[in-house]
Each structure stands twice: as structure tokens, then as C-alpha cells.
Amino acid sequence: MQIALSASRPSDASTLIFPIAKGSAIAPAIEAHALAAEAAGASRFGGEAGALVELFVSEAGKTLRVVLVGTGEGNAADFEKAGAAITARLLTSGVTQACVDGAGIAASSLAHLGLGALLRAWRIDTYRTKLAEKAKPTLETLTLVSDAADLATLWAEQEALAAGVAFTRELVAEPGNIIYPETFVERCRPLADLGIEVSVLDEADMEKLGMGALLGVAQGSIRKPRLLALRWDGTGGAQATPLVLVGKGVTFDTGGISLKPGPGMEDMKWDMGGAGAVVGTMKALALRKANAHVVGICGLVENMPDGGAQRPGDIVTTMSGQTVEVLNTDAEGRLVLCDAITWAQNTYKPEVLIDLATLTGAMIISLGHEHGGLFSNDEGLANQLLTAGLESGDKLWRFPLSDAYDKLLDSPIADIKNIGPRYAGSITAAQFIKRFVNEGVKWAHLDIAGMVWADKPGATWDKGATGFGVRLLDQLVRDHYSAS
Ligand code: BES
Ligand code: MN
Ligand code: ZN
């Protein structure tokens, strides 16, 4: 489905959508469609965000489908819900074209409605060869009808964001036999056409650099690891130091020799959700030509248990020089991230570094599917992220870090062990990463294990990949990392 913009209602429009604020009366323009007001009353429609009434009316001998959609209090999230409700209802309804009456609605609100509609319309049908006729998407175009002069510009920005989220969702939803380190990189190559500089390290490069922790995870798989770096500089060199984002890209996590139980293991195809969010953000920034300098780095490996796999008890030497006792091969994300972060710091000398990872099951125990976990060594950065979370809808909740937690990772034989004791598993995972963050670097770690996949539909997504993190990071860049 695509969104189109038009100053007037297309003459052949047969599905008309009217956004209605909470508690507001049905406007005369809508009353003209006999029954609309009555249908709203009979359905107890009160304009609640995303509430919907659908009816058929007759106009000049033609049958029109009229949809009233609630826009609630009128904030951005409410308009997104309204847009999402429209596509959730119409996508497979048989309707091919629909238009939204934007009269009297601010261009920014309409753009958010379009964003919600586009996000909710995303789906992956690649592997369905037998989709029932009635389950096939029919809606091709949703036209936003408005004469607001700034709608085109505002919409272009939201469309870029939606494309970034869609890219993340695609990578997250693809199975492990299709997306592995090399193919993840191949899917990202076309980003070069948008002006993103793409660079890739292979196994030999990483060996030379001494990335023993990342390579230790990869060694049990026939899929070769990759380190991917994407750089977008929309400032023309004005911002010398980039904001650096680092994503965990474990394209499948079996646990390795510390094998995971079978039931639910298929979920571990989305253990690259952090890397997915990073590349989706880069795509969105490049598409909207963000006036910012951002580097996105992905540590890409597959965690498998074969004869070459690392063993519990193995000691690996990280690129930083610190040694790690690998007590559990299933705590692999931190082993990938530590080397990716060391390389990122050496290469780009960032002042601010944010990593994203589906790092711990414990995160889901503590926050469920409502917030991602935030860990940071800097109050200012933490607050920027918390605020961007509220603004974008990708919400975060902050956890503590302290020397007492850090101590739990001391190893009797190496510098650090890769697991702590049973409790506070998400915090000790964050403390592990913190040991690889250079003095003076403002760092935040986002544990998004509970957020990248949804078992039920949400505000702007269906079941499946959510694209969590893209909107958050795009908002953060907008608010704090753009040159003016
Ligand atoms: N990828 C998992 C974390 C995870 C689990 C994400 C479930 C999403 C859903 C991670 O690599 C992992 O296995 N973590 C272990 C750490 C433990 C061995 C200290 C975990 O959470 O059990
Ligand atoms: Mn694991
Ligand atoms: Zn993992």
C-alpha cells in the first residue's frame, strides 16, 4: 500500500474516511452522507483514537463506503492509531482506493495518520504461495486529501521513517536460513544508493584486529561472521564526530554448546533485532536527508553448536585486550558487542555511543513488552533517550548500574566472566558491556529483548516484527544530534 497526497477528493473515490476528534459532533460535511451520524450514535462511536464505524451510503446513484475514524485527543500518537485502524480494517477488505478527508486537520496530524496507516499495512507475504483470495491485501492507495501547503514536506519525513521501520521489520521477520551475516550485509548494500557509506569486515579482518570474543561465538557456525559499518553524514563534514550506534546481530541464537531448550527456539531468528534497528534507523536518516552525522555498526554472527564451537570454560581475548571466561555460550550477545564497541571506539572516537541488543530474557521478565530497558553512564544521555522514547512511542525504562553489580562479573581465572549469578541478569549483562566502554564516552545500552517481536497486534503493527528502536533513534537524532 502507498500513501498519495491530493488537494481535492478524487472524483472516482468510492471509500471516504472522515477523522473525528473525541467527543466532537459529526460535521455537516459528514452529515450530508445520510445515516453517518445515526450510525455513529448507534455504534456508540465517540471519536476515541482508532475507533471505527463503517457504513454504506448512496450518493448520486453510487454506493459509497463511509468510514468514521476516531482521532482521540488529537496528539500524534492518536492520529497514528487512527491511520493504523484504517489500514487494519481496509487492507484486505476488497477496497483498492480510499481517501481521507483532511479538511480542517493540521498537516502534521495528517502526516502522522499516514505514518500509522503505512506502518500498520506492513506485512511479509514472501513465503506464502497459497494465500486465500480473501486474505490477500487489496488496498493499493490511501489518499490524504488536504490543501495544507506543508503536507508534502511533512509527509516525506514520515514516509522515510516508515521505510526505515519496514526495513528493520523485514530483516527481523526473515528466518535464519535466509538472513545470516553475509546476507544481512547484502540486504544493506543498496543503502549505498542513498548516500550511506557501507564498509564490511570479514573473518580475516577481524582475526587481524584480535576480535577473539566475537569470533569465538561465530566459530561454531558454517556461516561466516561480518562486521558491518554504515555511515551517514548529512552535515557535509560540519559534525566531525559521529553519533555511534552499535547493534547485536546474532542472526540465529541456538545458545551454542549451552544449548537452548527446543520450544520457542524459533524466536531466536530475531536475535538480530538490535542490528535491525540500527540499519533501519540509518535508512530512515538517509531517506529524509537528516542533517546529522551518524554511524551504525552491526556485529553479525550465528551462534551454533558444532564440533568447532566454543566450550563453556573457554577463555577468549577480546579486541580490547581483556580476557573473558565464557561460562555460558548462550550469553553470546555481550561477546559480540564488546568487540564491536571496541572497534567502534577505535575507529570513530565517538563522544556518544548507544548499543541496542536483544540481550537478556530477564529483560522480558522485568518489563514485559511495554518498555525497553535503558542503562547508561550519563544522566544527560539517559534523559534524552527517555524523552525520545515518550515522543516516539518506543518507550524506555531506566535501570541502575553500580560497582556492586560490576563485581559480580569478576572471574577467578580471567579478567571477566560472561555471566553473573542468577539474579539481576539484565544489569550484569549491561555491566559486562560497560567494561569495554572507554573513559569519557557517554554510553547507553538498550536491552530490547521484549520489544522487537509481538505476539499480538499493537497500535501500529500486526503480530510479528515491530521495528522497535527506529522511531526512538530517529527522534533522538532530530532532538539532539542534528546540526542546525
Ligand atoms: N538472545 C538471548 C536473550 C533473549 C532471550 C532475547 C529470549 C529474547 C528472548 C541471549 O543471547 C541469551 O541467551 N541470554 C541468556 C543469558 C544468560 C545465559 C546469562 C538468557 O537471557 O537466558
Ligand atoms: Mn544467547
Ligand atoms: Zn542472543
- What would the pLDDT profile of 252-267 be if each residue is shown by its tens digit? 999 999 999 999 999 9
Q: Is the pLDDT of residue 28 over 80?
A: no
> Ligand 1 within 6 A of 361 CB?
yes
Mean pLDDT of the chain: 97
Q: Is the pLDDT of residue 123 over 90?
A: yes
DSSP bridge pairs for 192: none
Percent of the chain whose pLDDT exceeds 70: 100
Q: How far is CA 101 from CA 106, 142, 343, 357, in A?
A: 12, 11, 51, 41
> Ligand 1 within 6 A of 253 CB?
yes
Q: 286 CA to middle of ligand 3, Å?
A: 29
**Closest among 296, 308, 346, 297 to 217, alpha carbons compared:** 308
pLDDT average, residue stretch 358-370 = 98
pLDDT average, residue stretch 438-465 = 98
Residue 460 — very low, low, confident or very high, per pLDDT cuts 50/70/90? very high
Looking at residue 60, what is its pLDDT? 83
Q: How far is CA 438 from CA 112, 377, 385, in A?
A: 39, 11, 20
pLDDT average, residue stretch 85-102 = 97
> Ligand 1 within 6 A of 425 CB?
yes
Compute the C-alpha angle 476/477/479, nearest 5°. Answer: 65
> Ligand 1 within 6 A of 172 CB?
no
Separation between Cα atoms, residue 254 and residue 261, nearest integer Å: 9
Residue 172 — very low, low, confident or very high, per pLDDT cuts 50/70/90? very high
Separation between Cα atoms, residue 411 and residue 432, nearest integer Å: 12
Looking at residue 33, what is its pLDDT? 80
Q: Is the pLDDT of residue 26 over 90?
A: no
Looking at residue 11, what is its pLDDT? 84
Q: Is the pLDDT of residue 274 over 90?
A: yes
Q: Taking a C-beta distance cutoff of 8 angstroms, is the pair 301, 219 a contact?
A: no
Separation between Cα atoms, residue 235 and residue 238, nearest integer Å: 5
Question: In the annotation, is 130 catalytic?
Answer: no
Catalytic residue among 260, 289, 398, 435: 260
**Closest among 250, 180, 183 to 214, alpha carbons compared:** 250
Q: Is the pLDDT of residue 27 over 90?
A: no
Catalytic residue among 65, 334, 442, 471: 334
Q: Is the pLDDT of residue 29 over 80?
A: no
Q: Is the pLDDT of residue 120 over 80?
A: yes
> Ligand 1 within 6 A of 355 CB?
no
**Ion ligand 3 residues within 5 Å by Cβ:** 250, 253, 271, 333
pLDDT: which is higher, 484 or 323: 323
Nearest ligand 1 atom to the CA of 358 is 6
Question: In the annotation, is 334 catalytic?
Answer: yes
> Ligand 1 within 6 A of 447 CB?
no
Looking at residue 184, what is its pLDDT? 99
Q: Starting from the CA of residue 301, give the closest ligand.
A: 3
Ordered structural domains, the chain, with CATH: 2-146 (3.40.220.10), 159-480 (3.40.630.10)
Q: How far is CA 190 from CA 135, 141, 159, 167, 354, in A?
A: 31, 26, 18, 12, 24
pLDDT average, residue stretch 293-312 = 98
pLDDT average, residue stretch 277-300 = 99
pLDDT average, residue stretch 460-466 = 97
Q: Which amino acid is at 80?
A: E
Residue 30 — very low, low, confident or very high, per pLDDT cuts 50/70/90? confident
* Predicted model pTM: 0.98
Backbone angles phi, psi at 75, to 5 degrees: -85, 175
Pocket test for ligand 1, best of 360, 431, 466 (most atoms within 8 A of CB): 360
Q: How far is CA 7 from CA 103, 144, 148, 322, in A?
A: 10, 8, 8, 62
Nearest ligand 1 atom to the CA of 332 is 11
Nearest ligand 1 atom to the CA of 419 is 19
Separation between Cα atoms, residue 50 and residue 71, nearest integer Å: 6
Looking at residue 25, what is its pLDDT? 85
DSSP bridge pairs for 145: 6, 101
The residue to which cell 552499535 is assigned: 246
Q: Is the pLDDT of residue 420 over 90?
A: yes
Q: 200 CA to middle of ligand 1, Å?
A: 26
pLDDT average, residue stretch 28-40 = 83
Looking at residue 350, what is its pLDDT? 98
